[in-house]
Amino acid sequence: MLFDFHVHTRISPCSDLDLKDILKHARSRGLDGVCITDHDTMDIRNFCQEGIQRDGLCIIFGMEYSTAEGDFLIFGPFEGVPRGLSAKEILTEADKSGGVAIAAHPCRKARPTMEYVIKEGYCRIVEGINGRNQRHENQMAMSLYQNYSVSFLGGSDSHTLEELGSISTLIYGAIRTRSDLINAVKQGNFALDTRNHMNSLQPESSL
């Protein structure tokens, strides 16, 4: 199944993407699933039913959790997680609760992931391609973290309809629930979809 792991709705103050547009257009973008990852909240649960929609699209609720040491896409029982935790605290909580965490846009100039978080094993999955990154930031993530025992996936980081599905990840097996997604990611049953996104990894022109 082809998933966009990193999508923001208007619940995120910085996003103009309406939930109705996600539901209407995701399938036509070739997506089988969309992870809603609004900033520091899972309030999307008040506006949408999680799981398989009428057209077969799978919607999974997550969150982009902000810390001073990087931002993390987290999936698990985090509806009531407090804000303000450190990277170590939220990543430890994700592991302890049976959830999963992904380092979001780890090499972005603004809000990068502190390297020790990956080096010391607090987070083992990295967003290698982010649709809002500069190409050199994606290239840096893919090259830097090859030195560590990590897996790569990708997400569009959509804030507008135009961005939805621009970067995706292939998940092997059927995903119908949040638990299905968490299990697939923890077991490594996914691959970064680079078929249409190689330009996100190429060096930028000096012209």
Paired residues of 127 in beta bridges: 153
Paired residues of 158 in beta bridges: 7
- Predicted confidence band of residue 70 (pLDDT cuts 50, 70, 90): very high
As a whole-number percent, the residues of the chain with pLDDT over 70 amount to 93
CA separation for the pair 72, 56 (Å, rounded) = 27
Question: Between 31 and 207, where is the model more confident?
Answer: 31
CA separation for the pair 56, 181 (Å, rounded) = 16
pTM for the full model? 0.93
Angle, CA of 33, 122 and 187, to the nearest 5°: 45
What's the Cα-to-Cα distance from 191 to each of 153, 157, 175, rounded to whole Å?
Answer: 6, 17, 15
Mean pLDDT, rounded, of the chain = 93
Is residue 27 pLDDT above 50, yes or no?
yes
Query: Tens digits of per-residue pLDDT, 124-164?
Result: 999 999 999 999 999 999 998 888 989 999 999 999 999 99
> Per-residue pLDDT averaged across 46-61, rounded?
98
CA separation for the pair 31, 76 (Å, rounded) = 22
Quote the tokens at residue 91: 């990543």
Q: How far is CA 47 from the centre of its chain?
A: 20
CA separation for the pair 197, 4 (Å, rounded) = 13
Is residue 21 pLDDT above 80, yes or no?
yes
Which residues make Cβ contacts (< 8 Å) with residue 163, sequence separation at least 6? 17, 131, 132, 156, 157
Domains present along the chain, CATH in parentheses: 2-200 (3.20.20.140)
